[in-house]
Structure 1
């Protein structure tokens, strides 16, 4: 007896489509993270974990490795400007949003460490915060930490954003803002996107101008920190102010 056309069962999805080569990879990577934390994972694997949420049905390992090839490290990927991240093939707004959430969370966590202290007596905490906030930026940024009489943090403000090797600095505006906030002291901070924190002649000159203006208004300049990817320089420690 000949079987009718409906007597043969239709093939299942698993029989008709081969499993992706990365099948199960996501859960294995998540399990490694749950057991051992982020320290056990390579930079590209941490990026994969973030990309999983934005790209639920795609092999994201090649994208993670392309990001590292372009920017250099996990931190530099997270800190990269959205317009530069968009240059990576396959990376969309959802993934970039995940990166920016992580960047914002890292900054807030580091900032809360220095805000929660009665005073900025921990130099290492200040350095850690500044490195997270601006150490991996691809443009120069100049910020000021405004302090009260007990060296407590009143405000942390970006005074200027510039190019790869210059950010506008206006000494009189810095002192005027300190007076507005009732600050008794300030810490100047800027980054060198080149990675080398060595102060330039211009860095020293502008710092000395701010010190002189501040002294006239009884506002102390505690330090000028220059932040690089691999380290920092303190003009006070270098006896340049």
Structure 2
């Protein structure tokens, strides 16, 4: 019997895989990363820089609305990084994991600033000192009093919180500061606190307290180089204002 060959089906091609369209945000991510690598971080707007950070934490969605919502709620990049995790998670698209990563990023920056201070004399590195103080305290909701203890070369030994308080007051104990300075064998120190009100102008109580600390340390020949007040509007130096 003669075998009959099957004729090919005309006009029909073999089935092909249909690829899903690329999400619009994927191309945006690629372009933003390329711009960051080729032109540097300074080429990005604040919300774009925050976007690139969120790429790693939120891998499969458009994060531009999240970045802009964070900046709108907290006012600035530093405000976002200083925010409490509980407040971060109130922003749509931010869960506990993203909040934790943002806080870790903030701590990396803080530790890098602290390392910079430890590697050079603090009183001759005003910009680094000011940046560090602003990063640490300008967004604190309660008043906090800290002391930067310095060695004979004016390099940072320790940054310690010596008092927590309310929105407008933190208790300060000059004798406790003196005791801690002796324990650390500090030769000098810088007083630091914040004004949650946003205005770094010192109060009469701030000036009087500074004098009390200076008097308490004078007997041990420990110098108070400066007293810095951090606020959202900037950092005020007692020495620059002629108050020390």
Both structures adopt the same fold (TM-score exceeding 0.5)? yes
Deviation for aligned residue 1:119:
6.0
| Alignment match, 2:4 | none
Say yes or no: does 1:195 pair with 2:195. Answer: no
Say yes or no: does 1:12 pair with 2:18. Answer: yes
Let me know the Cα RMSD of the aligned residues: 2.3
Deviation for aligned residue 1:239:
2.1
Selected match of 2:61 from 58, 62, 65 = 58
| Alignment match, 2:126 | 123
Distance 2:19 2:143 in 1: 53
Residues 127-148 of structure 1: CA deviation (Å, up to 9, x unaligned):
2221222233333222111122
Alignment of 1:140-151 (within 5 A): 140-151=143-154
Say yes or no: does 1:81 pair with 2:84. Answer: yes
Distance 2:24 2:82 in 1: 31
Q: Secondary structure at the match of 2:152?
A: coil
Deviation for aligned residue 1:73:
0.6
| Alignment match, 2:5 | none
Deviation for aligned residue 1:19:
4.8
| Alignment match, 1:172 | 175
Deviation for aligned residue 1:115:
0.8
Deviation for aligned residue 1:183:
1.3
Q: Secondary structure at the match of 1:98?
A: helix
Distance 1:139 1:40 in 2: 35
Structure 1, unpaired ranges of 5+: none
Q: Who wins on radius of gyration, i.e. which is larger?
A: 2
Distance 2:166 2:16 in 1: 62
| Alignment match, 1:237 | 240
> Is the contact made by 2:122 and 2:129 (CA closer than 8 Å) also made in structure 1?
no
TM-score by length of 1: 0.87
| Alignment match, 2:185 | 182
Moved over 4 A (4+): 7-11
Selected match of 2:214 from 211, 216, 231 = 211
Residues 7-28 of structure 1: CA deviation (Å, up to 9, x unaligned):
99597352xxx65342311111
Deviation for aligned residue 1:93:
2.1
Deviation for aligned residue 1:101:
2.4
Say yes or no: does 1:225 pair with 2:228. Answer: yes
Distance 1:126 1:23 in 2: 40
